[in-house]
Chains A and B, each alone.
Chain A
């Protein structure tokens, strides 16, 4: 056998392997494998290291404080804290609604902010929801995902952020963008001082952490108890959850989803 035919054989083998790989990919699609089982995680080593630190901080501080908060603080007060934190995020939500071309929801989010800040006493009471003004829960990570022409499961490389938790390239950029356009942060920074800004940011972050931890406790405990590799299970669940949010944003503008929504409306009427 000459050198040429060996090379040809190797070529054939290589293309055969490529074909097998392509078939496997297609087969993966056919079994509606959305890719969430294999999240792109090139920084897995460092990510797991930060995850271990986060877990420790959670175990010795965040979780016990959250449990105490959940058990000691009266439920209506907890609800008001949640409402107030959410209300502070409403202008940025409205901005993201608008950038995604959802003018209606942008107006609704802004109206929510105005109603809850005034009638709802600085956001402590969510009066807007009882007026039928629907909450949007939008953020810049979703805006990037909305415009990125990729599957919403693909948010770039996975990233475990210190003290914040699961994220990815897309959502981390989103976080930075959202905090950069936060009108309260900008106002405090320019009208008062940078130390006032850090007090504001720190308080808001701390409150959000405890409020979120209480709300996710059941789900996270379940995930941790029933997984053999909690890091991987959380990575998958986070990716799927974010993808679902982005998919809902995209479905809003797809004609088929519009038809289905009309069907549902017809049912209600």
Chain B
């Protein structure tokens, strides 16, 4: 009786291992999840070991390597991208990338010992979505979804959704409204972003 029960337990444990193992392995191997894990690790390491300008430049390097800043800029400009001249596009991407890099450096700089737990990875429309939880010492964990795309240079992060709020979508709305309120000209937005970058 006892032996039988133990056998059953073994069987159950074995079944569980079979069910869990391939899933975990898949999660480990998924390039999108790997990218998020690596990025988070690098950022945490930077914040622990460096301060001030060294930290900011380190974070900038991580951003340029792991985020597709030009893809983010393009999707943030939305329909206005098509109206822009090649010269305007180049200037816009440069200014937007610098603004975005600065914003992320600031966000990462507020890190205070939270941990990031990776969850499910789903694919939709050529993108992988990596779900994660940012566990805080006080309060509820914050849910963060990372959108990862491969546009030919290996997987890169193209959007970050915090509690359902997409950074790129919010930026698009922001840029769109600014352009509409300034005579529908992309030039006004580029000028504003460039002057902000200088500040």
Same complex origin of A and B: yes
Alpha-carbon distance between A34 and B168 when the two chains are bound, in angstroms: 12
Chain B residues with CB under 8 Å of A223's CB are 170
Chain A residues with CB under 8 Å of B171's CB are 227, 233
| Cβ 8 A contact of B169, one of A30, A37, A264 | A37
Is B3 part of the binding interface, using a Cβ–Cβ cutoff of 8 Å? Answer: no
Main secondary structure of the interface of B (DSSP, over half): helix
Interface size class of A (residues with CB under 8 A): 35 or more
Interface string of A223-242 (1 = CB under 8 A from B): 10111110111011100110
Chain B residues with CB under 8 Å of A236's CB are 169-170, 172-174
Chain B residues with CB under 8 Å of A240's CB are 164-166, 169-170
Interface string of B152-174 (1 = CB under 8 A from A): 00000000001111100111111
Is B29 part of the binding interface, using a Cβ–Cβ cutoff of 8 Å? Answer: no
Interface size class of B (residues with CB under 8 A): 35 or more
Interface string of A202-233 (1 = CB under 8 A from B): 00000000000000001100110111110111
Alpha-carbon distance between A56 and B106 when the two chains are bound, in angstroms: 25
If A245-B164, A267-B23 touch, does A38 touch B175 (CB 8 Å cutoff)? no
| Cβ 8 A contact of A39, one of B110, B166, B173, B193 | B173
Q: Is the CB of B178 within 8 A of A228?
A: yes
Alpha-carbon distance between A61 and B175 when the two chains are bound, in angstroms: 30
Interface string of B71-101 (1 = CB under 8 A from A): 0000100100000000000000000000100
Residues of A whose CB lies within 8 Å of any CB of B are 30-32, 34, 36-39, 75, 79, 218-219, 222-223, 225-229, 231-233, 235-237, 240-241, 243-245, 247, 260, 264, 266-267, 269
Can you offer 24 A-B residue contacts whose CB atoms are under 8 A? A36-B166, A36-B173, A37-B78, A38-B176, A218-B110, A226-B102, A227-B170, A227-B174, A228-B192, A228-B193, A228-B196, A229-B178, A233-B173, A236-B169, A236-B173, A236-B174, A240-B170, A241-B164, A243-B164, A244-B164, A247-B164, A264-B119, A267-B20, A267-B23
